[in-house]
Amino acid sequence: MKDIYADFFIQYCRFISKDLISTFDTRLGRNTKVISVFFRVFFVISKKDTNKSSKEKAIVILKKLIDSYLSDGDVNIYSSMYHSLECSNKDFTQPLHLLKPLGTSLNDFAEAVKDFNKIFENQLFKQGMIEFNNALAHLFAGFSTSSTNLDLNIKKASTHLYRGALDYYKTIIKKKESFTHEQKEELIKIRTLEIASIGLKISNSDKDDILVHYRDFARKLYKINNS
């Protein structure tokens, strides 16, 4: 299964060969729709109960999408960036056992995306996807053969996933038109806890509790079934 991750990160390398340039192009910009597909594929290949055939199909779909994505714009420049990144020389066969520490953060992020989609169908939360892309960028750097900071990059990836999940729930709450007095009181308690947690590491239990509080509050506001 290691090759599945290698194939995934090769496609990501192809993606950033354009993305790193297109972010400076006002016509193109950052394509968060493509990033959202990376998220769905990454989640599929990371699940233990997903069979190999389904994972391989997800990679094929991703490759076709990136083929199309790279066909729009200055193809020669993107190709030059790809070679500059030395994608072909990187060893991406390591992630299978090293991604385990990412499990909780990835599941929290996926739950946040799922809850958001239950409320706001067919809407894409760009900031959430940008945080996911930031997480992938750290994993990409960490799994490159030239990297000596793998553990650090995995921790930073987890931090971005945490922030992304938090942003999803905060945005869900912000979109609520009004709050009852009881809801305002609960929100005050959560915000007070959040202020107290500033500066703590993401792995701190108090920090984890903040995300749980926001998640529970958002689900109660919209009566979301968490099953």
User: What mean pLDDT comes out for the span 31-57?
Assistant: 94
pLDDT at 185 over 60: yes
- The one-letter amino acid code at 65 reads L
> 13-17, 140-144, 176-180, 187-191: which range is least confident on average?
140-144
Phi, psi (rounded to 5 degrees) for 100: -55, -40
User: What mean pLDDT comes out for the span 29-54?
Assistant: 93
| Confidence (pLDDT) at 207 | 66
Mean pLDDT over the full length of the chain: 89
Burial class (CB in 10 A: 0-12, 13-18, 19+), 22: buried
| Confidence (pLDDT) at 143 | 80
The whole-angstrom separation of Cα 157 and Cα 106 is 9
| Confidence (pLDDT) at 201 | 65
pLDDT tens by residue, 112-165: 999 999 999 989 999 999 999 999 999 998 887 665 688 889 899 999 999 999
Angle, CA 116 vertex, CA 110 and CA 122 arms, to 5°: 110
| Confidence (pLDDT) at 144 | 77
The pTM assigned to this predicted structure is 0.91
Burial class (CB in 10 A: 0-12, 13-18, 19+), 208: middle
The whole-angstrom separation of Cα 129 and Cα 28 is 17
Give the confidence band of 197 by pLDDT, cuts at 50, 70, 90. Answer: confident
pLDDT tens by residue, 70-93: 998 899 999 999 999 988 777 776
More confident residue, 165 or 46: 165
| Confidence (pLDDT) at 203 | 60
Measured over the CA atoms of residue 50, residue 52, residue 54 and residue 55, the dihedral's sign is positive
For the chain, give the percent of residues with pLDDT over 90.
65
Q: List helix spans (H) across 2-149.
A: 2-22, 32-46, 52-70, 75-84, 95-98, 103-119, 126-143
pLDDT at 2 over 60: no
Question: C-alpha distances in angstroms, 35 versus 4, 42, 112, 122, 162?
Answer: 18, 10, 16, 15, 17
The whole-angstrom separation of Cα 12 and Cα 201 is 28
